[in-house]
Amino acid sequence: MHTILLTALTLCAAVFAQSSVVDSFVASESPIAKAGLLANIGPSGAKSSGAKAGVVIASPSNTNPNYLFTWTRDSALVYKTIIDQFVRGEDTSLRGTIDNYVSSQAFQQQVSNPSGSVSSGGLGEPKFNIDISAFTGAWGRPQRVTHPWLADGPALRSTALITYANWLIANSNTTFVTSTLWPIIKLDLDYVASNWNQTGFDLWEEVQSSSFFTSAAQHRSLRQGAALATAIGQTSVVSGYTTQANNVLCFMQSYWNPSGGYMTANTGGGRSGKDANTALASIHTFDPTAGCDSVTFQPCSDKALASLKVYVDSFRSIYSINSGAASNAAVATGRYPEDSYFGGNPWYLTTAAVAEQLYDALIVWKKQGSLNVTSVSLPFFQQFSSSVAVGTYASTTTTFTTLTTSVQNFAEGTLAVIAKYTPSNGGLSEQYIKTSGVPTSATDLTWSYASMLTAFASRSGVVPEAWGASGLVASASCGGATGGGGSPSAGTVQVTFNVQATTVFGENIYLTGSVDALQNWSPDNAMILSAANYPTWSITVSLPANTAIQYKYIRKFNGAVTWESDPNNSKTTPASGTLTINDTWR
């Protein structure tokens, strides 16, 4: 006991010393980051010349690399930061730029571009010129016209605007929400609801792949969209949004890699799937009322913590600036370990995401007065206390104090890494060189500044609004939807259905069959398959063991339902283990 207390006291002293360094960095960098962010927003930002009102430039850098464009994703994340500050009452002067953003996005949605028009895929276009004209230069768009780019932008934009809409409703301005915001939000939500399972490009716009960050953002947007629609009387869309939110939540479970102990960030590109994508997903879908829920990948959930450790550890030996750091010490992190862009370096925003996830976790643990160590999160906690065991630890225990103090120290250490490699003027580029820490790539990256502001807010205990993650349960038929790393129910086996089926844009493949787990031949309740490996559509379902089943695939498109040809498919499930079925649509 004396050893544990001494360890806790030593850790507290280390945290105090390190926190004083971070305190100074936060105090100096906060106003610089805020000013840097606003400088990149048109029309009056100091570095945004040529940008229309409410348009966020990614960076003023126009050569090597040229980032003088506006990305829907980056802009939404930046304005979510701005809107959060406004609705919390921290800066009421921001309302004008928020309204400029609303107007700019209403216009941008209607701009036809290489991905299509507003009604044919154009909402998935990732970037535009800063005068809100279409970008028509060379780009890595998918060549299949029936499966255009699926971006995270519409989901993130709708989430930002819903946050503003909720504030307006609370302040007696529902009319503006209904007349001005809702038409913009609904276009984005309809796009997400119709296209969430179409394979596009990953978060970093490099490979065709399903992306966990995108799926998580889409799930949140549909939940919030259904709630907003209810609040303003647009009830006709609520059921559709909720149904698709359930489908996305189900699909999210399939990214989990149980043998590796982490959430696979992307399904393509020949990568490990260890990626900042997952930490970014966790912090941008943080709901403080959801506790440590693993189904929605909350920051303190066992799966999110396990993933964070795997992600951070993947950079310990590949960046020279991390040399000499202890195996449980904070280090610089980048996008993914296989990265070669600009030589493959740490990024300010990805390093900040590590700290922010840990600060978010600490907020929840302290609020609920306990933390839970599962078999999934055990490796994460063992890096701080080798003797810790699976169990729940109340805030009155020394184990709780030791672990939370260690996590706090790790989060502070991560911000200290950023502070070490931030130039004296506080300017934040996209990356800092892995051998020297010297800033590189795009200067004054707007997303870098936003990431500092959100990490600093979490450090100070600021929590975002709840968005409906509390109490959600993924269907028992979802692959991997077993909470904290458990196993499927006794008497069941995991059956993966794969079917080769070509589709047109907006058309989806579903599965139903003869047992409860296959929805008893119901076309309305049929389970949607994932198109992550198109033209193969897949789903994994828990089915009764040693049971004869019959099943069919169906197509749904514009309200029409088309059944596969007779006869029914038949199979007998094994007594144990797993089964993979490979079919072709007929």
pLDDT in tens, 276-327: 999 999 999 999 999 999 999 999 999 999 999 999 999 999 999 999 999 9
Mean pLDDT of 180-208: 90
Fold of 492-584: Immunoglobulin-like (2.60.40)
Question: Where is 440: in which H helix or E strand?
Answer: strand 439-440
Question: Considering the chain, what is the average pLDDT of its residues?
Answer: 91
**CA atoms of 66 and 401, how far apart (whole Å):** 47
Which tens digits make up the pLDDT trace of 149-162? 567 999 999 999 99
Backbone angles phi, psi at 432, to 5 degrees: -135, 140
pLDDT at 576 over 90: no
Which tens digits make up the pLDDT trace of 317-353? 999 999 999 999 999 999 999 999 999 999 999 999 9
Fold of 288-464: Glycosyltransferase (1.50.10)
Grouping H, G, I as helix, E, B as strand and the rest as coil, residue 17 is helix
- Angle, helix 2-39 to helix 72-87, in steps of 10 degrees: 110
**CA atoms of 478 and 251, how far apart (whole Å):** 7
pLDDT at 244 over 90: yes
pLDDT at 488 over 60: no
Which tens digits make up the pLDDT trace of 41-66? 999 999 999 999 999 999 999 999 99
Is there a catalytic annotation at residue 360? no
DSSP 91-152: -GGGHHHHHHHHHHHHHHHT--BTTB-TTTTGGG--EE-TTSPBP-S-----S-TTS----S
Mean pLDDT of 138-156: 58
Distances (CA, A) of 191 to 22, 87, 118, 262: 42, 27, 9, 29
Mean pLDDT of 32-43: 98
* Predicted local distance difference test score (pLDDT) of residue 480: 42
Overall size of the chain counted in residues: 586
Cite the annotated binding site for substrate by residue number.
139
Cite the annotated binding site by residue number.
139
Q: What is the percentage of the chain residues whose pLDDT exceeds 90?
A: 75
**Catalytic residue chosen out of the listed positions 74, 84, 190, 202:** 202
**CA atoms of 472 and 32, how far apart (whole Å):** 39
**CA atoms of 357 and 286, how far apart (whole Å):** 9
* Angle of CA points 189, 195, 200, to nearest 5°: 120
Tokens of 305: 């913590």
DSSP 501-517: ----TT-EEEEEESSGG
Grouping H, G, I as helix, E, B as strand and the rest as coil, residue 345 is coil
Question: Where is 578: in which H helix or E strand?
Answer: strand 578-584
Domain boundaries, the chain: 288-464, 492-584
pLDDT at 135 over 80: yes
pLDDT at 8 over 60: no
* Predicted local distance difference test score (pLDDT) of residue 477: 67
pTM, rounded to two decimals: 0.82
* Burial state string for 111-133 with b = 16 or more CB within 10 A and e = fewer than 16: bebebbeeeebbbbbbbbbbebe
Phi-psi region of 468 (alpha: psi -120 to 50; beta: other; left: phi over 0): left
Is there a catalytic annotation at residue 202? yes
Radius of gyration of the chain (CA): 24
**Catalytic residue chosen out of the listed positions 99, 205, 338, 465:** 205
